[in-house]
Chain A
Amino acid sequence: QVQLVQSGSELRKPGASVKVSCKASGYTFTAHSMNWVRQAPGQGLEWMGWINMHTGNPTYAQGFTGRFVFSLDTSVTTAYLQINSLKAEDSAVYYCARDDQVVRFNYWGQGTLVTVSS
Chain B
Amino acid sequence: QSVLTQPPSVSAAPGQKVTISCSGSSSNIGNNEICWYQQLPGTAPKLLIYENNKRPSGIPDRFSGSKSGTSATLGITGLQTGDEADYYCGTWDSSLSAGVFGTGTKVTVL
The residue on B at minimum CB distance from A103 is B99
- Interface residue from A97, A102, A111 paired with B92 (Cβ < 8 Å): A102
Q: Looking at chain B, what size class is its interface with the partner chain? A: 20 to 34
**Nearest Cβ in chain B — how far from A104, in angstroms?**
5
On chain A, the residues within 8 Å of B86 by CB distance are: 44
- Interface residue from B2, B32, B98 paired with A44 (Cβ < 8 Å): B2
Q: A95-B45, A108-B45 are in contact. Are A44 and B102 (CB under 8 A)?
A: yes
> Are A45 and B90 in contact (CB-based, < 8 A)?
yes
* Residues of chain B having any CB pair with chain A under 8 Å: 2, 32-33, 35, 37, 39, 43-47, 50-51, 56, 86, 88, 90-92, 96, 98-104
> Are A61 and B45 in contact (CB-based, < 8 A)?
no
Cα(A27)–Cα(B107), bound, Å: 33
* Residues of chain A having any CB pair with chain B under 8 Å: 35, 37, 44-47, 49-50, 61-62, 95, 97, 100-106, 108-111
> Are B88 and A104 in contact (CB-based, < 8 A)?
no
> Are A44 and B45 in contact (CB-based, < 8 A)?
no
The residue on B at minimum CB distance from A96 is B44
On chain A, the residues within 8 Å of B37 by CB distance are: 45, 105
Cα(A46)–Cα(B103), bound, Å: 10
Q: A102-B32, A104-B47 are in contact. Are A62 and B98 (CB under 8 A)?
A: yes
On chain B, the residues within 8 Å of A46 by CB distance are: 101
**Nearest Cβ in chain B — how far from A87, in angstroms?**
19
Q: A45-B101, A47-B98 are in contact. Are A111 and B56 (CB under 8 A)?
A: no
On chain A, the residues within 8 Å of B104 by CB distance are: 44-45
On chain A, the residues within 8 Å of B50 by CB distance are: 100-101, 104, 106
On chain A, the residues within 8 Å of B33 by CB distance are: 101, 104
On chain A, the residues within 8 Å of B96 by CB distance are: 61-62
On chain A, the residues within 8 Å of B102 by CB distance are: 44
> Are A95 and B44 in contact (CB-based, < 8 A)?
yes
Q: A44-B101, A44-B103 are in contact. Are A103 and B92 (CB under 8 A)?
A: yes
- 7 contacting pairs across A/B (C-beta < 8 A): A35-B99, A45-B37, A45-B45, A62-B98, A103-B100, A104-B47, A105-B47
On chain B, the residues within 8 Å of A111 by CB distance are: 44
